Chains A and B, each alone.
Chain A
Amino acid sequence: MHIMEGFLPAAHCVGWAAASAPVVAYGAWRVKKIAEEHPNAKLLLASSGAFAFVLSALKMPSVTGSCSHPTGTGLGAMLFGPSVMAVMGTIVLLFQALLLAHGGLTTLGANVFSMGIVGPFVSYGIFKAVRKSGGSLQIAVFLAAALGDFATYCTTSLQLALAFPDPVSGIAGSTVKFLGIFALTQVPLAIAEGLLTVVVMNLLSKYSEGELKSLNILSDGARA
């Protein structure tokens, strides 16, 4: 869920950009290390970025009938690892603003925080935790993708609530309002994206083992 250009006040834009910057900078440092060791990683990253962008522009069947787009954050986190995903997420979000007018330049920091950092890190953590506790690959993938989306949606609602607190009940009340309004589209989206990601990961583990191995240089063997 992208926050549109100009929706957040200037101070919030700067604050969220400052909050995202260290994580993205760490990711960029890792990408630089990887690119120095494997010159070909640049091509791999670029085509993965293009894949992530196009994936997020595909229309996904949603339960409520409203058309929605997969975010790809869960899939990306599982394929590339969360810190590299923060960099790729930033690039994809910038292109979404410049090529699709989704999101914006002033709200880039806030959107990176919710979609490029919180979502992927939650997805990755859940994936690892479920796999470690003996859950099947399908369940781990579904929970990781669905809850990653859910975490993104909660973060965005909180970001909006911090900028526009309710006159009576303050930030808490406002968070409830934004969660309620966006639940209509975001909860079905999280479930649909969870199912979609399971289908994708099943196919990938069946047919694309070689391609998945080539990604090992990006994240140190993150996948199962």
Chain B
Amino acid sequence: MYLIDRIAHTNRWTRRPTPEKLFLCLGGLVLCMAGPAPVTGLLTFAATAACALFAARVPPRAYAAVLGLPIGFLLAGLPVLMISVDLSGGPLLSWRADQIPLAAALIGRAAGAVSCLTLLILTTPVHAMIPGLRRLGLPAFLVEIMLLTYRMIFVVAETAASGYAAQAARLGYSGWRRSLRSLGMLAAALFQRSMTRARHMETGLAARGFDGNLAVLPEDAPPVSALRCAAIALLLGGLFACALWLESLIHV
């Protein structure tokens, strides 16, 4: 059901230290947001796509599938930018060629930012990222709730998938009215199952002396390598310098 999660667990970068991947991807994200547009974004897009496809060996088809949805949103939003509407005296539409630089900047920034996010989520399992939020100052109880939520998502999703298949096999999704009714029944059943599951977990944990804290052993993460961090810093710096240089060429 969740392509991204499957790839995140099975690529060559899965076991790499999470802080390094966060440094690369979030650094790239900041670069895209702050650097001169659109060149920074486009360069970052190329660099992160190369990292994903050649270094982490993410299957190209999966990579394209993950990138496809946001790109669709981007393409849907662009006409809105390029067509101007005049509201004084009835709506009047006009094509604005002078908006092209703005649209280009948006494409660059969004493409770069999306590919940084894609690289991060395709190479790093979510449960490896959440504990890092603790260091960003998020209270422990929230981090705990998030980890629990993450674990339960897959159980609930499996229940939903089997319920959906059973309903579909009985023609529950033939026609609009019936679909709505089936979906409502599915949602209600899911809610009830979720609550029942929480109650069972309560009972199970209470029998084991639960006092409100779920202590879990941290995974033994590989150590962060200073060399690789330096390489990432060099890459990000290089991208920024390249962008500034290209930008100066364009504006001569």
The answer to whether A55 touches B210 (Cβ under 8 A) is: no
| Residue A200, interface by CB 8 Å | yes
| Residue A17, interface by CB 8 Å | no
Q: Across chains A and B, which 10 residue pairs bring their CB atoms closest together, nearest first?
A: A6-B113, A199-B184, A46-B148, A39-B212, A203-B188, A50-B152, A211-B195, A49-B149, A61-B179, A6-B110
Given contact pairs A57-B157, A166-B84, a sample of 9 additional A-B residue pairs in the complex whose CB atoms are under 8 Å apart: A7-B106, A32-B139, A61-B176, A70-B187, A91-B142, A95-B150, A168-B94, A169-B87, A199-B181
Instruction: Kindly name the residue among A28, A167, A173, A202 whose own CB sees the greatest number of chain B CB atoms within 10 A.
Output: A167
Which residues of B are interface residues toward A (Cβ below 8 A)?
2, 4-5, 26, 29, 32-34, 41, 66-67, 69-70, 73-74, 76-77, 79-81, 83-88, 91, 94, 96, 98-99, 102, 106, 109-114, 116-118, 121, 126, 129, 139, 141-142, 144-146, 148-153, 155-157, 160, 164, 173, 176, 179-181, 183-188, 190-192, 194-199, 201-202, 205, 210-212, 214
CB distance from B58 to the nearest CB of A (A): 13
The answer to whether B96 touches A167 (Cβ under 8 A) is: yes
A196 to B110 Cα, complex, angstroms: 34
The answer to whether A95 touches B153 (Cβ under 8 A) is: yes
Q: How many A residues face the partner with a CB closer than 8 A?
A: 76
Q: A177-208 vs B: 1/0 string, CB under 8 Å? A: 11001000000000010011011101110011
Q: A36-65 vs B: 1/0 string, CB under 8 Å? A: 100110111111111101110110110100
In the complex formed, the residue of A with least CB distance to B186 is: A58
Sample 13 A-B pairs with CB under 8 A, ordered by A number: A4-B110, A6-B32, A6-B114, A28-B139, A45-B149, A47-B149, A54-B156, A61-B179, A70-B187, A91-B145, A100-B4, A174-B85, A211-B191
In the complex formed, the residue of A with least CB distance to B93 is: A177
Instruction: Kindly name the residue among A31, A51, A176 whose own CB sees the greatest number of chain B CB atoms within 10 A.
Output: A51
With contacts A5-B113, A6-B32 taken as known, whether A31 is within 8 angstroms of B141 at the C-beta atoms is yes
In the complex formed, the residue of B with least CB distance to A54 is: B156
| B-chain residues with CB within 8 Å of residue A4 when the two chains form the complex | 70, 73-74, 110, 114
In the complex formed, the residue of A with least CB distance to B94 is: A168
Partner of B126, one of A48, A95, A173: A95
The answer to whether B83 touches A196 (Cβ under 8 A) is: no
| A-chain residues with CB within 8 Å of residue B187 when the two chains form the complex | 55, 58, 70, 75, 196, 199-200
With contacts A54-B153, A101-B4 taken as known, whether A39 is within 8 angstroms of B199 at the C-beta atoms is no
The answer to whether A98 touches B185 (Cβ under 8 A) is: no
Interface residues in A130-144 by Cβ distance below 8 A to B read: none
| A-chain residues with CB within 8 Å of residue B114 when the two chains form the complex | 4-6, 101, 104
In the complex formed, the residue of A with least CB distance to B178 is: A61
The answer to whether B80 touches A181 (Cβ under 8 A) is: yes
With contacts A31-B145, A169-B84, A211-B196 taken as known, whether A51 is within 8 angstroms of B190 at the C-beta atoms is yes
The answer to whether A50 touches B194 (Cβ under 8 A) is: yes
Partner of B156, one of A50, A95, A160, A172: A50
| Residue A13, interface by CB 8 Å | yes
| Residue A106, interface by CB 8 Å | yes
| B-chain residues with CB within 8 Å of residue A13 when the two chains form the complex | 33
With contacts A6-B32, A6-B112 taken as known, whether A46 is within 8 angstroms of B198 at the C-beta atoms is yes
| B-chain residues with CB within 8 Å of residue A105 when the two chains form the complex | 26, 29, 117
The answer to whether B76 touches A99 (Cβ under 8 A) is: no
| A-chain residues with CB within 8 Å of residue B196 when the two chains form the complex | 211
Partner of B160, one of A54, A95, A195: A54
| B-chain residues with CB within 8 Å of residue A55 when the two chains form the complex | 187, 190
The answer to whether A208 touches B141 (Cβ under 8 A) is: no
The answer to whether B117 touches A101 (Cβ under 8 A) is: yes
A50 to B227 Cα, complex, angstroms: 39
| B-chain residues with CB within 8 Å of residue A54 when the two chains form the complex | 153, 156-157, 160, 190
A61 to B2 Cα, complex, angstroms: 21
With contacts A43-B202, A200-B191 taken as known, whether A176 is within 8 angstroms of B117 at the C-beta atoms is no
CB distance from A36 to the nearest CB of B (A): 8
A166 to B84 Cα, complex, angstroms: 6
The answer to whether B126 touches A98 (Cβ under 8 A) is: yes
Partner of A7, one of B83, B110, B198, B199: B110
The answer to whether B180 touches A199 (Cβ under 8 A) is: yes
The answer to whether A45 touches B183 (Cβ under 8 A) is: no
Partner of A43, one of B83, B117, B185, B205: B205
In the complex formed, the residue of A with least CB distance to B191 is: A51
